Amino acid sequence: LSLEKLVSFATHIHGHLGPFLALGLKAGQLAVDAAGRDPLKSQAVFRMPLKRPYTCFIDGFMVCTGCTPGKLNMDLRDSGDGIEVLYRCGARSVTLRVKTAVLQGLLDRLRGGEDERALAFKVLESKPEDLFDFSASQGF
């Protein structure tokens, strides 16, 4: 699916389009590019504060990767003050973390009352390497 279709599907499921949903979509797309997509053979482990808006990320990631709560292949861990996800698909895996400056910038802008859709589109137009630190590997 194109990013455009994924965005509209994710917004339909999630209910609103904000920068954290957008970050999750970009992260999911990166994860799939790096490790492949197989909703029945993949798993995601999230580490982040389990509160909004951080957790909006999870729904974006879900839509891209097909890791869902219903299949029990997503694991949420309340930790730290960043957003990190380990994605495994078969024997391949990728770990990615939202850059601290990106995360802080978005939180500040949301608090400052900036339009969340505009922020989401800024995220969607960004290069993955500007949003995340990541490393991919073969095997565990």
Instruction: Return the residues of window 7-46 that contact Zn ion according to CB under 5 A.
Output: none
Query: Min. distance of Cβ 14 from Zn ion in angstroms?
Result: 6
Query: Min. distance of Cβ 119 from Zn ion in angstroms?
Result: 12
Helices (H), the chain: 3-14, 19-35, 56-65, 100-111, 116-125, 128-131
Q: Which of the ranges 34-42, 53-61, 80-88, 100-108 carries the binding residues for Zn ion, by CB under 5 A?
A: 53-61
| Angle 69-29-115 from CA coordinates, rounded to 5° | 85
Which residue, 56 or 98, has its beta carbon nearer to Zn ion?
A: 56
CB atoms within 10 A of CB 93: 20
Query: Min. distance of Cβ 53 from Zn ion in angstroms?
Result: 6
Q: Can you tell me the distance from the alpha carbon of 45 to that of 97, in angstroms, rounded to the nearest whole number?
A: 12
Instruction: Return the residues of window 54-83 that contact Zn ion according to CB under 5 A.
Output: 56
Query: Min. distance of Cβ 3 from Zn ion in angstroms?
Result: 18
Asked if 78 and 50 touch (Cβ cutoff 8 Å), the reply is yes
Residues contributing to the site for Zn ion (CB under 5 A): 56
